[in-house]
Amino acid sequence: MKQIAGVRDASRKHWVGNGFYVSTMISYNHQHALFDPFLLLDYNEPYHFEAGRARGVGEHPHRGFETVTIVYQGEVAHRDSHGGGGVIGAGDVQWMSAGSGVMHQEFHSETFAKRGGVFEAVQLWVNLPKAHKMMPPKYQAIQAKDIPVVELKADSGVVRVIAGQLEGVAGVAHTFSPINMWDVRMHADKNYVFGVPESHNLVILVLEGNVCIGERTITAGHLVSFQEGGADVEIRARSVAKLLFLSGVPLKESVVGYGPFVMNTQEEIQQAIYDLESGQFGRIAGSESTL
């Protein structure tokens, strides 16, 4: 079994733009070897927004990785400089491969902004292998109805397989390295052994309820990282629980980050800044820049 390396909580929060109130649970600046190929994870715990104007983040750049947004409650409207965009609602996933460079913006949808309500989401940055960092940008809009569901044995719960596979069921997201992304709901007083390859790094975010992993009890709002090696992990749910499983083969490549750019060398970061300033990332017509 995989062994716990550490547990961190979501107590420290900050605003991203004026529409996302998040805790940074993973950062490429801290213990990256345990999280590789995942660079960043921001968790917006359930937060009530009053009705009013759309809130969010205006036009800003990315290069060298993918952003994955999972919406649990509320709606997000996205547009980018390569024609990607749309509204993702509860249960939907937005998977954007920034690749060689893209400008994009994210706001609460017009409908959600007008009515207000509870917003909950996770945004993840997934590193691209060196060979794909300068690929053309790509956008995957994944609707909830298209995400396959696995019923766990012994009525232990259900899992939406966003990426990778579980119990022989493959997710719909295309990835550039082996990754599992599972949206898990477990029933109270149930346990289940999840098949995680020994070659994968693993992190688990507990969004609701409390579970036991080994001798540790993990409550909502905590992220669990695991030591390298070992296969599989057993989860014992002490209540109804909602979890996000992220596992992947580590790229083990150098990581040099500067804000919205994550490359392999400092020279590539300088090139990204030059390319942005010279307009090579494009623009979104009528957008509000946050640069």
Instruction: Provide the b/e sequence for 25-59 (b: ≥16 CB within 10 Å).
Output: bbebeeebebbbbbbbbbbbbebebeeeeebbbbb
The answer to whether 21 touches 47, Cβ cutoff 8 Å, is: yes
Whether 83 is covered by a domain: the verdict is yes
Rounded CA gap, 10 and 21, in Å? 11
Q: What is the per-residue pLDDT for 290?
A: 46
Residue 255 counted as domain residue = no
- Picking from 255, 273, 280, the residue whose alpha carbon sits closest to that of residue 29 is 255
In this prediction the pTM is 0.95
pLDDT at 287 over 70: no
Please check the confidence at residue 289 and state whether its pLDDT lies above 80. no
Q: Is residue 235 part of a domain?
A: yes
Domain count, the chain: 1
Supply the CATH number for residue 135's domain: 2.60.120.10
CB 14 within 8 A of CB 42: no
Q: Is residue 284 part of a domain?
A: no
pLDDT tens track for 215-263: 999 999 999 999 999 999 999 999 999 999 999 999 999 999 999 999 9
257 lies in some domain: no
Range of the domain at 87: 4-248
136 assigned to some structural domain: yes
Distance separating alpha carbons of residues 274 and 247, to the nearest angstrom:
34
Beta carbons of 108 and 119 less than 8 angstroms apart = yes
Amino acid at 271: Q
Give a yes or no: residue 267 inside a domain: no
Which has the closest alpha carbon to 239: 206, 272, 203, 202? 206
Q: Is residue 286 part of a domain?
A: no
Please state, in angstroms and as integers, the Cα–Cα distance from residue 128 to each residue in 30, 42, 56, 71, 116, following that order: 18, 18, 25, 22, 35
For the chain, counts of helices (H) and of strands (E): 3, 26
Query: In this predicted structure, what is the pLDDT of residue 91?
Result: 98
Residue 30's contacts (CB-CB under 8 Å, 6 or more residues apart) are: none
- CA distances, 112 to each of 90, 117, 258, 277 (Å): 11, 7, 32, 34
Q: How would you class 273 by CB atoms within 10 Å of its CB: exposed for 0-12, middle for 13-18, buried for 19 or more?
A: middle
Q: What is residue 217's predicted lDDT score, i.e. its pLDDT? A: 97
Strand partners, 105: 79
Q: In degrees rounded to 5, what are phi and psi of residue 96?
A: -115, 120
- Residue-wise pLDDT for 90-147, tens only, equals 999 999 999 999 999 999 999 999 999 999 999 999 999 999 999 999 999 999 999 9
64 token code pair = 């060298």
